[in-house]
Amino acid sequence: MGFFIGGIQIMFGRKTLFTALLLAWVMPAWAQTLKATLPNGLQVIVREDHRAPVVMSQIWYRVGSVDEKVGKSGLSHALEHMMFKGTPNVPSGEFSRRVSAMGGVLNAYTSPTETVFHENAAKEHLPKLLEMEADRMVNLNFSNRDFNNEMKVIREERRQTVDDNPINNMYEQMLFRAYDKPSNRTAVIGHMRDLHGLKAADLRDWYKKWYAPNNATMVIVGDVNAQETLDLVKQKFAHIPAKKLPERQNLQEKEVKKAVSAHAYGNTQQPIMLLGYRVPHLRTINDTTPYALDMLATILGSHSASRFETNLVRGKQLALEMDSSYTIISRQPQMFHISAMPREGVSTAQLKAEIEAQIADIAQNGVSEAELQQARVIQESSLIFSRDSMANQAAWLGTLESNGFDFSQEDELYQRVLKVSAAEIQAAAKLLTPQREVYIVMYPHAMKQKRVAVRQK
């Protein structure tokens, strides 16, 4: 199980969402994809992939931390855990045990905007997998004892993955300072004070509000007949009634505000820094800036020949490591992230100035056609080596459908990114201004202790 912080999925690591698109794009001509919406509102997408006799099943519920209220953070992630705690038909722990007995694997994760459950098994087990998913969509029945035990697990998960993890800790602090609306500030895993206050009744109420066929998308990729699989999903889910869903919260925020900076002390041996810019994300397929921002992230820092790696890590040797990332599709406002760890003897202020100089150079002079072509090749190479993943195919289909796009647009999205011009990238770089900036530095605990000792003297 896992969760996201600041658009970053903790369980699977960090990458731009466009990478997921690349993993899914090129499919053989015989790979039919069908889509249907059941009368109860459940969206279903089935893609044939006959290269191996297996199937990937994912169900996407359109609910996450952005839907939560102040004081109740962590509801969606906690409920993700409790979805494995049983129904009258499948007792607590049995869901995982039965999938394992099939020789399959399963997991789940929560993001700011979705909660996703997925199973991978031999194709003959798909009817049983769908039967169990349909069962826990309506019949979840966890005990107070299971709830109390699982909350201990979740609080420990927060300690390990956020409180004691400097990178994730900084992402959480950045969200809090970047936005004004509580929904956009909320930690996916929940704030510790809220995790001590949640009750079993809170999760049961959350389940009743949001877990419904008209708030879900079922995605199936594998060695199946698309039409027969659509019929199978109808058989398993059509009897579940739709619900009246709560009104969604308004997540829109101003992107241009005053610059924000902060520092903290954490579990790190070297100072580390996170520089973020509030930027647009893709709202319609015809937007242009998000595609350019995605390519800008590739050019600046997401590969070994990027500007940061070439100029600041290996060139001037100012940093031990650097990265840039951007999520192109989401319901939530997004940031363009740059993370870096300075070399010993290099201050964070010096490295920040060098980063800003790299951005300013692109904003003023643009990028060369050769540099842009290299970025395109890197994107396409990722596709060639990664397109065999059924899980990533399903993840991209689910991402599109859960965020107001259609699976049929995946090819067009890919082509639009590859057609980004040097001029569009230059215009995107001009957006990375101090008025959009949030800057977080985390120092080692030892530095705080030294400063306290100096003041005491």
- pLDDT-based confidence at 389, cuts 50/70/90? confident
Token pair recorded at residue 123: 């194709």
Residue 275, pLDDT above cutoff 50: yes
Give the pLDDT of residue 178: 96
CA angle 212-390-406, nearest 5°?
A: 55
Q: Is 156 a catalytic residue?
A: no
Mean pLDDT of 254-273: 93
pLDDT higher at 55 or 7:
55
Residue 455, pLDDT above cutoff 80: no
Mean pLDDT of 101-128: 97
Residue 353, pLDDT above cutoff 80: yes
Mean pLDDT of 67-91: 97
- Separation of alpha carbons 412 and 419, rounded Å: 10
- Nearest residue to 433 via CA among 252, 268, 277: 277
pLDDT higher at 253 or 28:
253
For residues 255, 259, 264, 266, the Cα torsion angle rounded to the nearest 10 degrees is: 50
- Separation of alpha carbons 429 and 292, rounded Å: 9
Give the pLDDT of residue 450: 62
Predicted confidence (pLDDT) per residue in 408-437, tens digit: 998 898 889 889 999 999 999 999 999 999
Residue 211, pLDDT above cutoff 70: yes
- One DSSP character per residue, 17-66 reads HHHHHHHHS---TT--EEEEE-TTS-EEEEEE-TTSSEEEEEEEES--GG
AA letter at 329 = I
Whole-number mean pLDDT of the chain?
A: 91
What domains can you pick out in the chain, each with its CATH number? 33-238 (3.30.830.10), 260-456 (3.30.830.10)
* Neighbour count for residue 1 (Cβ, 10 Å): 18
Residue 238, pLDDT above cutoff 70: yes
Give the pLDDT of residue 215: 98
Catalytic residue, chosen from 80, 401, 424, 437, is 80
- pLDDT-based confidence at 8, cuts 50/70/90? very low
Contact 56, 120 (CB under 8 A): yes
pTM above 0.85, yes or no: yes
- One DSSP character per residue, 286-339 reads T--HHHHHHHHHHHHHSSTTSHIIIIIIIIS--EEEEEEE-----SS-EEEEEE
Portion of the chain with pLDDT greater than 90, in percent: 83
Give the pLDDT of residue 303: 82
Residue 254, pLDDT above cutoff 90: yes
- pLDDT-based confidence at 314, cuts 50/70/90? very high
- Nearest residue to 112 via CA among 251, 7, 233: 7
Contact 156, 164 (CB under 8 A): no
